[in-house]
Structure 1
Amino acid sequence: MRAAVTVSLIPEVRQGPFVFTGDLVQACQRAAALGFHAIELFPEDPEAVEAEELRQVLDDCQLSLAAVGTGAGWFRHQLSFTSSEESIRSQAVDYARRMMDLAAAFSAPIIIGAMQGKASGGLNQATALRYLGHALFQLDEHAEALGVTLLYEPLNRYESNLIHTLADAATFIQGAGLRQVRLLADLFHMNIEESDLPGALRRAGPLLGHVHFSDSNRRAAGWGHTNFPPIIQALRDIGYDGYLSAEVLPLPDAESAARQAITAFRQWVGSPAAG
Structure 2
Amino acid sequence: MNLTQLSYILVENPDSSGSFENFAATLQQIREFGFQGIEINISGPDLWQQDRLLEFVDSHDFPVVSLLTGSNYFQEGLCFCSPDEQVRRSAVQRLQHYTSIAARFHALLVIGQMQGFSQDEPDRPVAETRIEESLKRIAEAAEEHQVTVVLEPVNHLQVGFHHRLQDVLDLARRIGSDRLRPMLDSFHMNIEEASVTEPIFRAGSDLAHFHLCESNGSLLGSGNLDFPSIFQALESTGYSDWISVKVYRQPWARGAEAAVEHLRKLELIP
Same fold (TM over 0.5): yes
Give the letter aligned to residue 108 of structure 2.
Answer: P
Distance in 2 (alpha carbons) for counterparts of 1:60 and 1:250? 31
After superposition, the CA RMSD in angstroms is 2.0
Q: 22-31 or 85-94, which moves further after superposition? A: 22-31
Q: Quick check: 1:9 aligned with 2:7?
A: no
SS of 1:148's equivalent?
coil
How far off its partner does 1:219 sit?
1.4
How far off its partner does 1:11 sit?
5.9
Q: Please say if residues 170 and 207 of structure 1, whose CA atoms lie closer than 8 Å, have aligned partners that are also in contact.
A: no
Q: Please say if residues 28 and 61 of structure 1, whose CA atoms lie closer than 8 Å, have aligned partners that are also in contact.
A: no
Paired position in structure 2 for 1:261: 259
SS of 2:38's equivalent?
strand
Q: Please say if residues 115 and 160 of structure 2, whose CA atoms lie closer than 8 Å, have aligned partners that are also in contact.
A: no
Distance in 1 (alpha carbons) for counterparts of 2:162 and 2:237? 23
Report 1:31-42 matches (<5 A): 31-42=30-41
Report 1:39-54 matches (<5 A): 39-54=38-53
List runs of 5+ in structure 1 lacking aligned partners.
13-21
Give the letter aligned to residue 133 of structure 1.
Answer: E
Paired position in structure 1 for 2:67: 68
TM-score with structure 1 length normalisation?
0.88
How far off its partner does 1:139 sit?
1.0
How far off its partner does 1:31 sit?
1.1
Report 1:150-169 matches (<5 A): 150-169=149-168
Distance in 1 (alpha carbons) for counterparts of 2:209 and 2:185? 8
Distance in 2 (alpha carbons) for counterparts of 1:34 and 1:5? 10
How far off its partner does 1:10 sit?
5.2
How far off its partner does 1:89 sit?
0.4
**Number of residue pairs matched?**
261
Deviations 1:37-80 (A, max 9, x none): 10001134342424321122213433011101112311221100
Q: Please say if residues 84 and 123 of structure 1, whose CA atoms lie closer than 8 Å, have aligned partners that are also in contact.
A: no
Shift of the 61–190 alpha-carbon distance from structure 1 to 2, 3 Å rule, reads same
Q: 235-244 or 39-48, which moves further after superposition? A: 39-48
Paired position in structure 2 for 1:81: 80
Q: What fraction of aligned residue pairs are identical, expressed as a percent?
A: 28
Shift of the 79–11 alpha-carbon distance from structure 1 to 2, 3 Å rule, reads farther
Distance in 1 (alpha carbons) for counterparts of 2:171 and 2:54? 35
Give the letter aligned to residue 264 of structure 1.
Answer: H
Shift of the 171–249 alpha-carbon distance from structure 1 to 2, 3 Å rule, reads same
Distance in 2 (alpha carbons) for counterparts of 1:218 and 1:77? 25
How far off its partner does 1:218 sit?
0.6
List runs of 5+ in structure 2 lacking aligned partners.
none
Deviations 1:124-182 (A, max 9, x none): 11111111111111111111111110011111111223111112211221122132111
Deviations 1:162-220 (A, max 9, x none): 11111221122112213211112111111001111111111011221111110100113
TM-score with structure 2 length normalisation?
0.90
